[in-house]
């Protein structure tokens, strides 16, 4: 009786290995996060933007982890938060320099860069999890 229960428990613990998350569903999460970041970046509120966009990006990474059945630990969360904060601080500085080179408003440059960064971050995270989990 106990052998059957432990076998059933083992099957439940490894069930995620047989299922492959849909790239389409993961890319939908990435695209929604990118669009939300772009919309929030249009509204230029100095430090509030960093907090809101960081929250969107962390939620995106959490949702991708959830699709791959990967636990989001505290170390992963802190590492991602530091990376995202660094990217966003860089993003606050870059558009003003680029607007001098490119005759385009800095806000639109900032929005474009933010969307691209979120998209690339999500895609890289997805590919990393695929490689780690050998999917």
- Residues 62-101 have pLDDT tens digits of 899 888 888 877 777 777 777 777 777 777 777 767 777 7
**Whole-prediction pTM value?**
0.70
In whole angstroms, what separates CA 107 from the centre of its chain? Answer: 22
- pLDDT computed for residue 14 by the predictor: 45
Q: Tens of pLDDT along 9-42?
A: 544 444 445 567 788 999 999 999 999 988 888 8
Per-residue pLDDT at 6 exceeds 60: no
Burial 86-124 (b: 16+ CB within 10 A, else e): ebbeebeeebeeebeeeeeebeebbbebbbebbbebbee
């Amino acid at each position: 009786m106990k052998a059957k229960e432990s076998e059933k428990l083992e099957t439940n613990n490894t069930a995620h290995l047989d299922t492959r998350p849909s790239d389409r569903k993961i890319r939908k999460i990435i695209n929604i996060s990118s669009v939300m970041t772009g919309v929030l970046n249009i509204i230029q509120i100095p430090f509030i933007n960093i907090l809101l966009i960081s929250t969107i990006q962390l939620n995106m990474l959490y949702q991708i982890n959830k699709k791959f059945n990967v636990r989001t630990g505290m170390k992963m969360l802190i590492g991602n938060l530091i990376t995202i904060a660094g990217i966003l601080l860089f993003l606050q500085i870059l558009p003003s320099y680029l607007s001098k080179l490119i005759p385009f408003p800095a806000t639109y440059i900032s929005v474009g860069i933010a969307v691209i960064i979120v998209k690339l971050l999500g895609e890289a995270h997805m590919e990393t999890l695929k490689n780690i989990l050998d999917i």
